[in-house]
Structure 1
Amino acid sequence: MSAADIRTDAVRKGGFDPSAGARSRWLRPSLYNISLAMIVVIGFVAIAAPFVAPYDPLQQDILQRLKGPSTAHWLGTDWLGRDILSRIIYGLRSSLSISAGAVFVALLAGGILGLAAAYYKGWTDRIIMRLMDILFAFPVMLLAIGVIALLGPGRFPTGAAIAIVYTPIFARLLRAPALVVAASDYVLSARAIGASDLRIIAFHILPNLASVILVQVSLLLSTAILVEASLSFLGLGTQPPLPSLGMMLSEGRNFLFLAPWAAVFAGLAILIVAFALNLFGDALRDDLDPRLK
Structure 2
Amino acid sequence: MIEQIRNNKLLSFAVIVVALQVLGAIFAPLLGLQDPYAQVIVQRMKGPNLLNFLGTDQLGRDVLSRIVYGYRASLLTCVTAVVLALVVGGTLGMLAAYYRGWFDRIIMRFMDVLFAFPIMLLAIAVIAILGPSAWSAAIAIAIVYAPIFARLLRGPALVICESEYVNGAKAIGASDFRIIFLHLLPNLSSVVLVQTSLLLSAAILVEASLSFLGLGSQPPIPSLGLMLSEGRNFLLLAPWPAVFAGFAILFLSFGFNLLGDALRDTLDPRLRKAS
Among candidates 189, 195, 204, match of residue 183 of structure 2: 204
Counterpart check, 1:55 vs 2:52 = no
Q: How does 1:149-188 map to 2 (within 5 A)?
A: 149-188=128-167
> Is contact 1:99-1:159 (8 Å) kept?
yes
Which 4+ residue blocks in structure 1 deviate beyond 6 angstroms? 25-28
Letter in 1 for 2:132: P
SS at match of 1:132: helix
> Is contact 1:94-1:244 (8 Å) kept?
yes
**Alpha-carbon deviation of 1:192?**
1.4
> Is contact 2:5-2:11 (8 Å) kept?
no
> Is contact 1:28-1:287 (8 Å) kept?
no
Q: Specify whether residues 143 and 41 from structure 1 end up closer, same or farther in structure 2 by C-alpha distance, changes over 3 A only.
A: same
Letter in 2 for 1:173: L
Structure 1 Cα separation of the partners of residues 135 and 189 of structure 2 = 28
1:94 equivalent in structure 2? 73
> Is contact 2:141-2:206 (8 Å) kept?
yes
Aligned Cα root-mean-square deviation (Å): 1.3
Structure 1 Cα separation of the partners of residues 149 and 70 of structure 2 = 27
Structure 2 Cα separation of the partners of residues 274 and 218 of structure 1 = 10
Q: How does 1:195-234 map to 2 (within 5 A)?
A: 195-234=174-213
Structure 1 Cα separation of the partners of residues 45 and 24 of structure 2 = 25
Structure 2 Cα separation of the partners of residues 46 and 208 of structure 1 = 32
1:246 equivalent in structure 2? 225
Structure 1 Cα separation of the partners of residues 184 and 241 of structure 2 = 48
Q: How does 1:1-293 map to 2 (within 5 A)?
A: 29-52=8-31, 54-293=33-272
Could you tell me which runs of 5 or more consecutive residues in structure 2 were left unpaired when the two chains were aligned.
Answer: none
Deviations 1:29-48 (A, max 9, x none): 11101110111111111011
Structure 2 Cα separation of the partners of residues 43 and 26 of structure 1 = 18
> Is contact 1:53-1:86 (8 Å) kept?
no
**Alpha-carbon deviation of 1:53?**
5.0
**Alpha-carbon deviation of 1:242?**
0.7
Could you tell me which runs of 5 or more consecutive residues in structure 1 were left unpaired when the two chains were aligned.
Answer: 1-24
> Is contact 1:49-1:90 (8 Å) kept?
yes
Structure 1 Cα separation of the partners of residues 32 and 226 of structure 2 = 18
How many residues are paired up?
Answer: 269
The percentage of counterpart residues that share the same residue type is 64
**Alpha-carbon deviation of 1:27?**
10
> Is contact 1:53-1:89 (8 Å) kept?
no
Q: Which structure has the larger Rg over C-alpha atoms?
A: 1
Structure 1 Cα separation of the partners of residues 95 and 43 of structure 2 = 58
Q: Specify whether residues 219 and 59 from structure 1 end up closer, same or farther in structure 2 by C-alpha distance, changes over 3 A only.
A: same
**Alpha-carbon deviation of 1:157?**
0.4
Structure 1 Cα separation of the partners of residues 205 and 26 of structure 2 = 20
Letter in 2 for 1:141: M
Structure 2 Cα separation of the partners of residues 69 and 28 of structure 1 = 39
**Alpha-carbon deviation of 1:190?**
1.3
TM-score by length of 1: 0.90
Letter in 1 for 2:120: M
Letter in 2 for 1:113: L
TM-score by length of 2: 0.96
